[in-house]
Chains A and B, each alone.
Chain A
Amino acid sequence: MSEFNPHSLDEDEFLEEVHSVDFWFHAVDGYLRDRTYGRIEGASHPDLDDTDRDNLITTLCNYCIGETAALEASSGLISIAPNRHSKIFLATQVVDEARHLEVFLRRLRDLGVEDPESEISVRANPHLVAFKDRLMELVAGHDWDAAVFAQNVVLETMEYTAFRAHMSTADPATAEVLDGVVKDERRHLGFGENDLGRRLMAMPEKRQRLAEIRRELDNLVLATFEEVQDSLGADRSRRVDLGSEYLDAIERLGLT
């Protein structure tokens, strides 16, 4: 029997299928079934030295800020979503984002952080906090196009870029956790690209507004990358150029 390919469906059937809870159940089952809190059961990994552990705590605290933003924004977007497919998709995203927060908080506890919430506020990058505030402003203003762009394109691209780069250098336990998260983010990014692509085709005049939002948010994303890498003490000449990777990824989407 040939494998089911949702891209063979017409547009309405595609949305009905791909933005369904049933589709989500099957999608996450493939990579979460044998994992507990994002970790492969029974796997044990060596402890980190103090510097690596402290750097990882800083990184994870900032991941938690990004995921909290995504959880609050995606849940807030449900009430303003223009159709039932989008509402259903966003509901699956809400639980994904809550899971990401859960697995990162769990990892922080594994690393010995007893009160992750306090630690997060101490180590929060101010540009990332500003990004979160701006995103929530767009959601509260019921600005669907701008909020979906900020969340499902800009934030998701930022996270995707950072998580993928981190996966290649992370300790095995953190890499396992990031692996499942990255797979979710790809789905979220797909929704943003698809929804906005469709709307921009019907209303090209919206492109200008998204370009303005992008200019504003790009600065916060790039500043976040720089400052977090500075705080980790990474040698500038040996850093992964997250900013360029992020800008290239956003540009490739062709939405602005």
Chain B
Amino acid sequence: MADFLSQYSIQRWLEMCPQGYLEDTVYGHSPELKEPDIVVDNELLREESIRTTVQLVVGERCALAASSGLVNAAPDFPSKRFLATQTLDEARHVEICTRRLFDLGVKEEDLESTIDDFVNPNLVKFAEVLLEKVSDGDFIAGVVGQNIVLEGMAFSVFEMLEAVSKQGNPKFAETLSGTIADERRHVGFGENRIGSLIREHPERKADVEKMQAEMTYHMLATFSDSFRGNRAAVEETRAIAVAEGAEADTAEWHGTDLASASPEDMEAVLADTVLGEFKTRLNRIGLEYQSPPVPA
């Protein structure tokens, strides 16, 4: 364990992150990049971009609250130290996603009301399940919920959004790229650290698996709302974006062309990818993936 945890020193994090892939960026992207005019000027595109970004802000706020809340529950200094770096990573994600809302025209004084208006209530429930474990000081459940479930979901969502944005919105794609690099590190810690704790505390498996099923339920409901609930807006938005060059002509991701796929197909490829990752990663730490009921 000591060898693996030594890979997560602050020194290494400084060299890899601020002095590495974030070097010369401003709020996560090259200083000269900005939101494409079409995204800012077209009301429908702007609203959809705000809606998407609000979900990211809410997810990252949850991750910030969870990682900082877990520092005190961590059983050893190397874990506290890793969670300290994760706390800063998540704060940076909150910051860059919030900054994107401002770039999309949201006024500072309207930030909280905009988030309240656009946030998906299922995502809020997802966060509540995790934060309850954190506030109970439950390190094992907290890390599984945060570093396997939440980060696993975020990782795939960011990858998907990056694939869609790469051609038409390089600023957003660059912002996501740095975030994905952070999330990869977080998921790695979760797998490595919790595996040994689960082996030491097999009696915790059932409770942690129950939490995973609950979080998965709310996650799938969030996906369902996002892709199907506003189908007309999504399709119109995509049509305008493709026509105006703000989205890729093709955007291949896990075998699906995101630029032409129906909302159902996009939801399916995202859900399959995330659940596939959950199964693999949970299995690695000695847990069995629990299927949630299918959201109505």
Instruction: State which residues 92-107 of B face A: CB under 8 Å.
Output: 92, 94-95, 98
B280 at the interface (CB under 8 A from A): no
- Which of B11, B22, B111 counts the most A-chain CB atoms under 10 A from its CB? B11
A33 to B15, CA, bound (A): 8
Given contacts A72-B71, A75-B68, A117-B77, contact A102 B11 (CB under 8 A): yes
Minimum C-beta distance from B151 to chain A (A): 17
The answer to whether the Cβ of A57 comes within 8 Å of any Cβ in the partner chain is no
C-alpha gap A72/B77 in the complex (Å): 11
CB of A240 within 8 Å of the partner chain: no
Residues of B within 8 A of A24 (CB): 88
The interface residues of chain B lying within 8 Å CB-to-CB of A75 are 68-69, 71-72, 83-84, 87
List the B side residues contacting A20 at CB < 8 Å. Answer: 95
Give Cα A75 to B80, complex, Å.
Answer: 10
In Å, the complex CA distance between A28 and B18 comes to: 10
Bitwise interface map of A from 1 to 24 toward B, beta carbon under 8 Å scored 1, else 0? 000000000001000100011101
Across the interface, B87 reaches (CB within 8 A) one of A16, A94, A117, namely A94
Residue A87 interfacial (CB < 8 Å) = yes
Q: Is the interface of B mostly helix, strand, loop or mixed?
A: helix
Asked if B14 lies at the interface with its beta carbon under 8 angstroms from chain A, I say yes
Nearest chain A residue, comparing its CB with the CB of B88: A95
> From B9, which residue of chain A is reached at the shortest CB distance?
A102
A169, B80: Cα distance in complex, Å: 31
Residue of B nearest to A26 (CB): B18
Task: Say if the beta carbon of A32 comes within 8 Å of chain B.
Answer: yes
Does B42 belong to the interface (CB within 8 Å)?
no
Instruction: Check A92–B88 contact: CB distance below 8 A.
Output: yes
Of A76-84, A195-203, A247-255, the stretch lying at the interface with chain B is A76-84
Docked pose: A133 CA to B83 CA in angstroms? 21
B19 within 8 A of A: yes
Assess whether B68 is in contact with A21, with CB atoms less than 8 Å apart: no
- Most chain A CB inside 10 Å of its own CB: which residue of B19, B22, B77, B91: B91
Contacts of A144 in B (CB 8 A): none
Q: Are B77 and A79 in contact (CB-based, < 8 A)?
A: no
A36 to B84, Cβ gap below 8 A? no
Q: How many residues of B contact A (CB 8 A)?
A: 32
From residue B206, how far is it (CB to closest CB) to chain A in Å?
28
Q: How far is the CA of A175 from the CA of B267 in the complex (A)?
A: 56
The interface residues of chain B lying within 8 Å CB-to-CB of A147 are none
Contact of B68 among A22, A78, A101 (CB under 8 A): A78
B108, chain A: closest CB distance, angstroms: 7
CA distance A175 to B113 in the complex (A): 49
**Which residues B41-97 have CB closer than 8 A to chain A?**
64-65, 68-69, 71-72, 77, 80-81, 83-85, 87-88, 90-92, 94-95
B22–A25 CB distance below 8 A: yes
Q: Which residue from chain B places its CB closest to the CB of A38 in the assembled complex?
A: B11
Q: Which residues of B contact A94 (CB under 8 A)?
A: 68, 71, 84, 87-88
Contact, CB under 8 Å: B81 / A101 = yes
* A99 touches B (CB below 8 Å): yes
Q: Mark B188-216, 1 if CB is under 8 A from A, else 0.
A: 00000000000000000000000000000
The residue of chain A having its C-beta at the shortest distance from the C-beta of B66 within the complex is: A79
CB distance from A245 to the nearest CB of B (A): 29
A37 within 8 A of B: yes
B181 within 8 Å of A (CB atoms): no
B232 on the interface (CB 8 Å rule)?
A: no
Q: Which of A87-113 contact B (CB under 8 A)?
A: 87-88, 90-92, 94-95, 97-99, 101-102, 105
Cβ-defined contact, B65 with A78, below 8 A:
yes
Q: Is B27 an interface residue when CB atoms closer than 8 A count as contact?
A: yes
Query: Residue A71 at the B interface, CB < 8 A?
Result: yes
- For B243, list chain A residues within 8 Å (CB): none
A98-B65 in contact (CB<8A): no
A29 touches B (CB below 8 Å): yes
> B64, A91: Cβ atoms under 8 Å?
yes
B10 at the interface (CB under 8 A from A): yes
When A25-B18, A72-B72, A88-B95 are in contact, do A37 and B87 touch as well, CB less than 8 Å? no
Q: In the bound complex, do residue B10 and residue A91 qualify as a contact, i.e. CB atoms below 8 Å apart?
A: no
Task: For A29, list chain B residues within 8 Å (CB).
Answer: 18-19
Q: Which 8 residue pairs spanning A and B have beta carbons closest together?
A: A91-B91, A98-B84, A75-B71, A78-B68, A99-B10, A21-B92, A95-B88, A75-B68
Instruction: Pick 9 A–B contacts, CB within 8 A, sort by A.
Output: A21-B88, A21-B95, A76-B69, A78-B64, A88-B94, A91-B92, A94-B84, A95-B88, A98-B81
